[in-house]
């Protein structure tokens, strides 16, 4: 029943919520909301994966900064639609500080990260992975540290959930430090290495995986550890013994200083594919100058501001020059010159 003082909009909103949140039996059904952050190699295919997951037939555009979109799915007929929030950070590793915007205390329990790495650029791959994952881990750990003070049960629940991905009898249990939230790593452009393109089948696999993260669909049970084929390995279903040592001579391995198997693999990988420097991976392009973000009113205001700033800069330089001349004049008058 409408309450006293309700406006027409209040009544309409309550009616929509009632229809969306009630199941076929009239009982209230909670709408599930999840968030997924896509990050990784520049032009690595992140937008394409998101569009395919949402079944949108659009031509993907380069993502320069941080973009947001959402999708809705019904778990069954006439059921309320769950909501998935999709975030995408562009620019490769140049915008690490933006990671803190989508991942917050409020959504950390239902958040997942998808790291997309371009396999056709091996000299950038490890550096991109390392910097993005470390920045994300640091930010999530700060959130968990806050939660341990304000809501320790939630913090413990999140940590235990990730630890459960690895069974205690797993041979690498003591060596693994689980990522604090669900993480999927996708190697994109695999089809470049084969004469017969397999990109469509791989995109369908990626789509099923993203739907699991975003909408809670059943997780794929397939596993593929054959390195001559596209790998598909759910968390906890591989091991260091299965992966084996890096492909290098025993004598070379003996000369490499590494504290963990991951460090050893990194040294061998970077010896084979010398990494580009971190500064080379920074995106120096100004997003404000990109045509896909053009907005007439905003651009006019920005141009006016730039003009004012330029004029102010010139005026400031003129003032500084005049002050310099006055100071120089004083100093000259105070100098004792040799009469000769």
Q: Where are the domains of the chain?
A: 13-242, 290-321
Tell me: the pLDDT tens digits for 201-216? 777 888 888 988 998 8
Q: Give the lowest-confidence range in 6-20, 175-189, 302-316.
A: 302-316
pLDDT at 78 over 60: yes
Residue 115 pLDDT level (bands cut at 50, 70, 90): very high
CATH class label, 13-242: alpha beta
113 touches 262 (CB < 8 A): no
Is pLDDT above 80 for 328?
Answer: no
What pTM was computed for the model?
Answer: 0.73
Residues 6+ apart with CB under 8 A from 35: 84, 85, 86, 87, 102, 103, 107, 110, 111, 112
- What is the rounded CA–CA span in Å between residue 135 and residue 147? 19
pLDDT of 289 strictly over 80: no
**Residue 88: φ, ψ to 5°:** -140, 125
Residue 127 has pLDDT above 60, yes or no: yes
Residue 73 is predicted with a pLDDT of 83
pLDDT of residue 339: 42
What is residue 62's predicted lDDT score, i.e. its pLDDT? 82
The one-character DSSP state at 226 is -
Q: How far apart are CA 208 and CA 258, in angstroms?
A: 37
On the question of pLDDT at 56 being above 80, the answer is yes
pLDDT at residue 148 in the model: 94
Q: Check if the beta carbon of residue 179 is closer than 8 Å to that of residue 133.
A: yes
Q: Which of 48-52, 103-107, 161-165 is predicted most confidently?
A: 103-107
Provide mean pLDDT across the span 10-17.
65
List the one residue out of 232, 156, 190, 145 whose CA is nearest residue 44. 190
Indicate the pLDDT class of residue 334, thresholds 50, 70 and 90.
very low
Containing 248, the helix (H) or strand (E) segment is none
Tell me the mean pLDDT in the region 278-282: 58
Decide if 126 contacts 100 (C-beta within 8 A).
Answer: no
> Collapsing DSSP states into helix, strand and coil, what is residue 299?
helix
């Amino acid at each position: 029943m409408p309450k006293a003082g309700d406006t027409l909009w209040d009544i309409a909103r309550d009616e929509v919520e009632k229809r969306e949140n009630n199941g076929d039996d009239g009982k209230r059904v909670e709408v599930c909301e999840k968030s997924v952050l896509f990050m990784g190699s520049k032009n690595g295919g992140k937008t394409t994966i998101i569009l395919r997951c949402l079944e949108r037939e659009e031509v993907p555009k380069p993502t320069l900064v941080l973009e947001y979109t959402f999708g809705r799915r019904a778990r069954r007929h006439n059921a309320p639609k769950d909501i998935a929030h999709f975030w995408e950070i562009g620019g490769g590793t140049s915008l690490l500080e933006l990671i803190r915007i989508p991942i917050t205390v409020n959504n950390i329990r239902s958040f997942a990260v998808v790291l997309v790495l371009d396999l056709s650029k091996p000299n950038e791959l490890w550096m991109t992975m390392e910097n993005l994952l470390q920045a994300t881990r640091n930010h999530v750990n700060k959130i968990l540290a806050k939660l341990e003070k304000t809501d320790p049960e939630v913090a413990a629940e999140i940590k235990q959930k990730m630890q459960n991905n690895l069974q205690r009898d797993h041979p690498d249990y003591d060596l693994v430090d689980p990522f604090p939230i669900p993480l999927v790593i996708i190697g994109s452009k695999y089809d470049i290495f084969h004469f017969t393109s397999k990109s469509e089948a791989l995109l369908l696999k990626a789509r099923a995986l993203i739907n699991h993260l975003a909408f809670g669909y059943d997780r794929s049970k397939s596993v593929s550890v054959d390195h001559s084929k596209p790998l598909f390995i759910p968390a906890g279903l591989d091991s260091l013994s299965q992966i084996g040592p890096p492909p290098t001579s025993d004598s070379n391995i003996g000369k490499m200083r590494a504290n963990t198997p991951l460090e050893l693999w990194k040294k061998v990988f970077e010896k084979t594919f010398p990494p580009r420097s971190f500064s080379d991976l920074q995106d120096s392009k100004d997003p404000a100058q990109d045509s896909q973000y053009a907005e007439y009113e905003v651009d006019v205001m920005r141009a006016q501001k730039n003009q004012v700033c330029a004029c102010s800069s010139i005026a400031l330089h003129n003032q500084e020059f005049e002050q310099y001349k006055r100071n120089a004049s004083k100093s000259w008058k105070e100098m004792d010159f040799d009469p000769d």
